[in-house]
Amino acid sequence: MDIEPFASDAASRRPHVLIVEDQADARLMTRELLEAMGYATTCVENGREALGFLLESDRRPIVVLTDLMMPIMDGRELVAAVRANPALAAIPIVMMTASSERCLELPGIRVLRKPLSFEALLEALEAHARR
């Protein structure tokens, strides 16, 4: 599993976001943006790695920010696996997609269209950080 963990112990006191994105440039840009906004991040490349992190880590993210279309395990499959596990089911998920495919039939999933709007991303994360 190729997981990019948050940078320091100080990060453990900040709200934590799990970024699930197969495109390296988009993953890095999202990570840099979120860390500049004060969030701790963990980055993985696909849903299988995300699920592994969620099952193995004792650190729960305030939100999983996931791409829809990825190899190995896509965003829909990740949502299904997280919702099927009672220990993980309450973790909020925000789906990012450039696709015109509808994600809205996934209950409780907020959808952000790519390219991401800074304002929409900030609003989605702040809603979960305040919980």
What is the structure's pLDDT at 105? 65
What is the structure's pLDDT at 101? 65
Of all residues in the chain, the percent with pLDDT exceeding 70 is 84
Residue 13 makes CB contacts below 8 A (sequence gap 6+) with none
pTM of the model as a whole: 0.86
Please state the rounded mean pLDDT for residues 93-108.
75
What is the structure's pLDDT at 27? 94
Least confident of 65-74, 83-92, 120-129: 120-129
Q: Quote the CA–CA distance of 2 and 108 in Å, as a whole number.
A: 28
* CATH class label, 10-129: alpha beta
Q: Where are the domains of the chain?
A: 10-129
Reported as a pLDDT band with limits 50, 70 and 90, residue 103 is: low
Span 113-124, pLDDT tens digits: 888 888 888 888
Residue in the block written with tokens 């939100």? 63
Amino acid of residue 108 = G
